[in-house]
Chain A
Amino acid sequence: MHAPAAASLKAASVRFGSFTAIDNLSLEIEAGSFYTILGPSGCGKSTMLRLVSDLIPAASGEVSIFGKTTEAARLAREFAFVFQDATLLPWRSALKNVELPLEVGRKRGIELPVGNRSPRELLELVGLKGRENALPHELSGGMRQRVAIARALVCQPKLLLMDEPFGALDEMTRDHLNLQLLEIWRETGTTILFVTHSIAEAVFLGQKVVMLAAHPGRLREVIDIDLPEPRTIPMRDTAEFTRYSARLRELLETC
């Protein structure tokens, strides 16, 4: 028996009125892998994540998560979403924000998975020990995003969807959070689908890079990144890394 894919899109299309945002996209996301998604602006990267996370319906085709419909997977908390801006509730402390998923959505008759880590431990995992009671406006952008990641992990999702989570951060913070995210990924064994604008980030994080093309949004290519694990910052200066980057840049220009 083959384990079901973390996410599987079969000839999926998304339309907004007469506008086709995603056309006939077929893709299998292997469980436990780290996928990065690249593509020109407006090609439908966010739309693809929103399709997978049951925020918008498919106009045609089929999307499943671990063999379930996206709705069933949402109700069972199989996946979590990290937005570009942290989307914390400003009146809740960091800890209270991480606890939010445990407080809502319980009345649907479906048992919620409870992670093996408490919200407090998750804040420690993302390096925010001691800031549990800080309000979001008292935290930096990078810290807020780490709270959002801790919140996403609280139900131990098997699939983590991230839409440019570090897009608004400076390079140093971004590097730091990249390494932290890789560590979390290795430790939790979750599957990650990570949208980014940065070629370097896509190569550095991804085991596979999904390249989308625009007008209409469709799959261009899936590129395996065969860099040694675990990834380290100095790896970015190797010839191999540069080769991948150059190849993706070339490909991006034709999308």
Chain B
Amino acid sequence: MAALDTLSPDADYEEAERRAIRRRRVVSVAVPVGTAVALILLWQAGVRFFEVPTYIAPAPSDVAGAFVAKSDVLIMNFWPTLIEALSGFFVGNMAAILIAIGFVHSRNIERAFFPIAVFVNTIPILAIAPILVLIFGPGLTAKVVIAALICFFPTLVNMVRGLESVSPQALELARILSASKAEVFWKIRLPSSLPFLFSALRIAATTSVIGAIVGEWVGADLGLGALIIDSTFNFNSPLLYATVFMSSGLSVLLFAAVALTERLVIRW
């Protein structure tokens, strides 16, 4: 009984602490969500109050209506963009990683190719997209190449930095252990580069969607980009807005997938 008496204030305190943490967590979610809801309501009220024509700015309720009524069209156009963005993401990042490894392996490779990489990166993606569509035709390939191109440079730069981020001391340790170049790469350089790689992949997750959509603008009959162009020309603003939300949803999805993988892989 005595033991329980001395314990209970502590238990009370812990309970209060736990409740405070829970409250803080609820607040940290509730505030941004509440703000977003308030803004949407304001938008709804504004459009209705000023009687803005739907084709100029649809009310949130119109957009929601489009989501429901045109869900089959939206989904049908979602898949091609997802596939293009994902393929571009893999191709672009894979190429960047391999070339970064080549750069770190040999200064001469870096000297030969880095200026070219910088030059390609300076060409605006909107300017190069028509060229790529001309080369690869109106099919899937051009969009994948555009998405890959947009992912490529940030990953290349980050990956080179990551592979070179190994501390000199760790390299001395490797030398004392007579580790081979391959062992240094697999056991030290590559793991050290992972945090750098993932910060580049987070960027690529969203830019690859931009790349796919830009590619579709230039020439496609299917995909979220094509739907954006189509609904704009038809003054179908609710569908346009719904498509835009769908595109940003795709970016968020890819970003979340990368962030989740990062959390599983990088535990240090």
Which residues of A line the B interface, CB within 8 A? 50, 53-55, 74-75, 77, 79-81, 83, 85, 87, 89-91, 100-101, 103-105, 107-108, 135-137
Contact = CB atoms under 8 A, between A and B. Distances in A.
B173 A108 contact: no
Contacts of B169: 83, 85, 87
Nearest to B169: A87
Contacts of A77: 177-178
A223 B173 CA distance: 31
B175 to A, nearest CB: 6
A114 to B, nearest CB: 14
A83 B175 CA distance: 13
B178 A105 contact: yes
A7 B6 CA distance: 63
Contacts of A80: 176
Nearest to A137: B268
Interface in B128-183: 167, 169-170, 172-180, 183
B180 A107 contact: yes
A85 to B, nearest CB: 7
A135 B170 CA distance: 17
A129 to B, nearest CB: 22
27 contacts: A53-B176, A54-B175, A54-B176, A55-B172, A55-B176, A74-B178, A77-B177, A79-B176, A80-B176, A83-B172, A85-B169, A87-B170, A89-B170, A89-B188, A89-B191, A91-B267, A100-B187, A103-B183, A103-B187, A104-B177, A104-B183, A105-B179, A105-B183, A108-B180, A135-B267, A135-B268, A136-B268
Contacts of B172: 50, 55, 81, 83
- In the A-B complex, the 5 residue pairs with the smallest Cβ-Cβ separation, listed nearest first, are A105-B178, A104-B179, A90-B268, A104-B183, A87-B169
Instruction: Label chain B's interface by main secondary structure.
Output: helix
Nearest to A103: B187
Contact of A105 (B177, B266, B268): B177
A119 B82 CA distance: 48
Nearest to A105: B178
A81 B171 CA distance: 13
A129 B175 CA distance: 29
Contact of A87 (B167, B180, B183, B194): B167
Nearest to A75: B178
B169 to A, nearest CB: 5
Interface string B222-244: 00000000000000000000000
B268 A101 contact: no
A83 B180 contact: no
Nearest to B174: A104
Interface in B176-228: 176-180, 183, 187-188, 191, 194
A108 B183 CA distance: 12
Contacts of A100: 177, 187
A112 to B, nearest CB: 9
Contacts of B180: 104-105, 107-108
B187 A104 contact: yes
Contacts of A136: 268
Contact of A91 (B178, B183, B191): B191
B170 A101 contact: no
A156 B75 CA distance: 64
B268 A55 contact: no
Nearest to A81: B176
A139 to B, nearest CB: 12
A193 B179 CA distance: 23
Contacts of A79: 176
Interface string B81-92: 000000000000
Contacts of B174: 104
A89 B192 CA distance: 9
Contacts of A104: 174, 177-180, 183, 187
Given A89-B191, A104-B180, 16 more contacts: A54-B175, A55-B172, A55-B175, A74-B176, A80-B176, A81-B173, A81-B176, A85-B169, A89-B170, A89-B188, A91-B266, A100-B177, A104-B174, A104-B177, A104-B183, A108-B178
Nearest to B265: A91
A239 B160 CA distance: 58
Contacts of B267: 91, 135
Contacts of B167: 87
**Which of A53, A55, A80, A87 has the most B CB atoms < 10 Å from its CB?**
A87
A108 B176 CA distance: 13
Contacts of A53: 176
A51 to B, nearest CB: 13
Nearest to A108: B178
